[in-house]
């Protein structure tokens, strides 16, 4: 079996993809919009040692396998390769086709972008403050310039909310921040705590649009520095602040509102009860919490795939729970849940915009962070978009309130946050 045919077998014979290999072999559909090129024996070794998605990802990140064409289109055409389950007999047959058992004698080290818990710095007990700080740094302390190219001017690295099909990414991110603000009932003079605040987009929006005194915290030093500079640049220093700080170390309390936009995924299932309890304790009576996070569509699949691409390359220690489980925990903490919605399709559109941004700045991105990291991002964002499109992952916003002792919520009789607003500038 020729090398190109071996790789074709992982994608499925009906996948509309063209395959070529360094041995001169060809397979698949000639002239297809997506072309996979096997450039060296290293790609073969990666696939032999880790059949399926992880081996293919390692070969691509390391530059020994190329994908020409749209990455999202490539992944959608190669569904079988992403979920392949190889029997022992099939492994032996493919191993022989790839060159025999000698490929397993000398293990190929994974690309340096891969986090291996037992051999690298990410060790210690799961979700301790030190380990969480390292996991967050691995993903977010890449390069602020790189993130500016990918995320655009908003520097919002969370699901946007598209007010209409043809809205721009910037419009959608502003809409998301304002939706959160309105769900929280923000008014001038209130105090907001934004945990896992990223580059401070929500903090700046609350201060600029609502006159709210907003505090954001992040474990990423680069995010905090960028956010503080943006706050000063926009003249918001009297109202807005971002600290390089673990949310568990915030000393202030008595906030009118708490927003958590994209942090819950990093908390860990065992820590979720204390997480919601901590945020509940930061709220004054009548205060609202908006929890915005990626979820899985059920409680059957595992919360974390330790050997998966996302855990090894993108979000070390990230865990996803089902929305019902999170809602139950919020209730158990004492919060009354008042509203919930799924923004799954919005995240697929957000990722499509980020992928387009990366493609438009590919040359600069490779120069800034290196080809391996740029390839990780190209693969990860396209794969995530496919996951949201196919409902393998979802994005839920859940709104809760800390009731008064007599049960008073202070909530409107009907949701009032869909009313349109004219935003400044």
R_g of the chain computed on alpha carbons: 23
Q: What is the pLDDT of residue 117?
A: 52
Average pLDDT for 388-397: 96
Question: Residue 282 has which token pair?
Answer: 């930061």
pLDDT at 36 over 80: yes
Q: What is the pLDDT of residue 77?
A: 83
**Helix, coil or strand: residue 354:** helix
274's CB contacts (< 8 A; 6+ apart) are none
pLDDT band at 93 (very low <50, low <70, confident <90, very high): low
Instruction: Return the half-sphere exposure (C-beta side, CA atoms, 13 A cut-off) of residue 166.
Output: 0
| Contact in structure between 385 and 348 (CB atoms under 8 Å) | yes
d(CA 399, CA 120): 38
Q: What is the pLDDT of residue 119?
A: 46
Which of 92-106, 120-134, 341-355 has the largest mean confidence?
341-355
d(CA 189, CA 263): 25
Write out pLDDT tens, residues 240-293: 999 999 999 999 999 999 999 999 999 999 999 999 999 999 999 999 999 999
Question: Residue 374 has which token pair?
Answer: 């740029």
Q: What is the pLDDT of residue 120?
A: 47
Write out pLDDT tens, residues 138-148: 555 578 999 99
Pick from 258, 208, 210, 257: nearest CA to 237:
208
Pick from 348, 332, 354: nearest CA to 395:
348
Q: What is the pLDDT of residue 134?
A: 57
Distances in whole angstroms, Cα of residue 80 to Cα of each of 5, 14, 52, 384, 385: 15, 10, 9, 16, 17
> What length is written for the chain?
425
| Contact in structure between 94 and 101 (CB atoms under 8 Å) | no
The 10 Å Cβ neighbour count of residue 51 is: 20
Q: What is the DSSP letter of 233?
A: H
Write out pLDDT tens, residues 201-252: 999 999 999 999 999 999 999 999 999 999 999 999 999 999 999 999 999 9
d(CA 50, CA 57): 10
| Contact in structure between 395 and 322 (CB atoms under 8 Å) | no
Distances in whole angstroms, Cα of residue 11 to Cα of each of 4, 16, 35: 11, 9, 12
Report CA torsion sign: 137, 140, 142, 144.
negative
**Average pLDDT value for the chain:** 88
């Amino acid at each position: 079996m020729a090398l190109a045919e071996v790789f074709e077998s992982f994608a499925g014979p009906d996948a509309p993809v063209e395959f070529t290999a360094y041995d001169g072999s060809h397979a698949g559909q000639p002239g297809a919009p997506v072309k996979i090129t096997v450039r060296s024996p290293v790609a073969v070794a990666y696939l032999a040692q880790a059949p399926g998605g992880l081996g293919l990802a390692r070969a691509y990140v390391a530059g020994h396998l190329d994908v020409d064409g749209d990455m999202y289109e490539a992944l959608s055409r190669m569904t079988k390769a992403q979920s392949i389950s190889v029997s022992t007999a099939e492994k032996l047959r493919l191993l022989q086709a790839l060159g025999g058992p000698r490929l397993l004698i000398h293990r190929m080290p994974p690309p340096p972008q891969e986090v291996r818990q037992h051999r690298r710095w990410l060790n210690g007990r799961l979700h301790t403050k030190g380990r969480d700080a390292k996991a967050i740094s691995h993903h977010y302390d890449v390069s602020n310039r790189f993130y500016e190219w990918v995320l655009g001017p908003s520097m919002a690295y969370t699901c946007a909310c598209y007010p209409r099909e043809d809205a721009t990414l910037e419009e959608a991110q502003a809409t998301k921040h304002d939706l959160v603000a309105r769900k929280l009932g923000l008014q001038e003079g209130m105090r907001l705590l934004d945990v896992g605040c990223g580059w401070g987009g929500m903090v700046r929006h609350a201060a600029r649009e609502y006159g709210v005194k907003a505090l954001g915290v992040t474990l990423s030093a680069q995010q905090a520095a960028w956010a503080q500079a943006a706050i000063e640049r926009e003249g918001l220093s009297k109202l807005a602040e971002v600290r390089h700080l673990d949310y568990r170390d915030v000393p202030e309390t008595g906030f009118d509102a708490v927003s958590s936009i994209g942090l819950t995924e990093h908390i860990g299932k065992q820590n979720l009860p204390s997480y919601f309890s901590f945020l509940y304790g930061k709220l004054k009576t009548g205060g609202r919490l908006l929890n915005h996070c990626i979820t899985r569509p059920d409680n059957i699949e595992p919360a974390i795939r330790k050997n998966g691409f996302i855990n090894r390359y993108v979000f070390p220690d990230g865990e996803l729970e089902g929305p019902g489980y999170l809602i139950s925990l919020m209730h158990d903490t004492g919060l009354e849940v008042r509203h919930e919605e799924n923004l799954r399709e919005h995240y697929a559109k957000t990722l499509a915009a980020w992928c387009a941004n990366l493609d438009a700045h590919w040359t600069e991105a490779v120069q800034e962070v290196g080809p391996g990291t740029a390839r990780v991002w190209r693969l990860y964002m396209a794969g995530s978009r496919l996951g949201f499109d196919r409902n393998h992952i979802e994005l839920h916003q859940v709104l809760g309130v800390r009731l008064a002792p007599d049960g008073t919520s202070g909530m409107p009789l009907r949701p009032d946050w869909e009313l349109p607003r004219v935003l400044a500038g």
